[in-house]
Amino acid sequence: MSKIEQRLSDLGVTLPKAPAPAANYVPYVVVGDIVHVSGQISMEDGSLIRGKLGQDATIEDAAVAARNCALSLLAQVKAACEGDLDRLVRVVKLTGFVNSTGDFTDQPKVVNGASDFLVEALGDRGRHARSAVSAASLPMGVMVEIEGIFQIA
């Protein structure tokens, strides 16, 4: 077990299997020492986490959904690193999309669910640049989708 996976285990977290792409794209692309991970949608135990902020979902529920997106991002990085998550040097940038109404303005609080988890799990290598934006809708009605850029060794 890698040091990162041991830390996750200490937090009571098990990485999911890296989700397969839902359409004609790849889940990640490695360019040199950079991994670009396609958007990971909010899921829990194989079920979609759906809802729209400002309408039928709470910030707290959406932050959990964002955290789950971060788990899927790490699962994709592990796959890109051929199973050795300790090759992860740092999280470079996240872009979070929040399914929300036009008047909802707390997207950063939602994406904090992913950011806070990555820092808790990875320490300084989890600190990253970030964008958090609203979307009128997301695939299959999910609450959150997050894509990421990671540096690996």
Asked whether the beta carbons of 140 and 49 are under 8 A apart, the reply is no
Distance CA 42, CA 69 (A): 5
Strands (DSSP E) contained in 17-135 are 28-31, 34-41, 43-44, 47-48, 88-99, 129-135
Asked whether the beta carbons of 76 and 13 are under 8 A apart, the reply is no
φ and ψ at residue 109, rounded to 5 degrees = -65, -35
Geometric angle at alpha carbon 120, from 145 and 90, rounded to 5°: 70
Q: What is the crossing angle of helices 59-80 and 107-122, to 10°? A: 50
Distance CA 80, CA 75 (A): 9
Instruction: Record the tokens describing residue 104, joined without a space.
Output: 């909802």
Q: For the beta carbon of residue 103, count every other beta carbon within 10 angstroms.
A: 7
pLDDT in tens, the chain (153 residues): 789 999 999 999 999 999 899 899 999 999 999 999 999 999 999 999 999 999 999 999 999 999 999 999 999 999 999 999 999 999 999 999 999 999 999 999 999 999 999 999 999 999 999 999 999 999 999 999 999 999 999
Residue 65 has what pLDDT?
Answer: 98
Residue 28 has what pLDDT?
Answer: 98
Residue 22 has what pLDDT?
Answer: 86
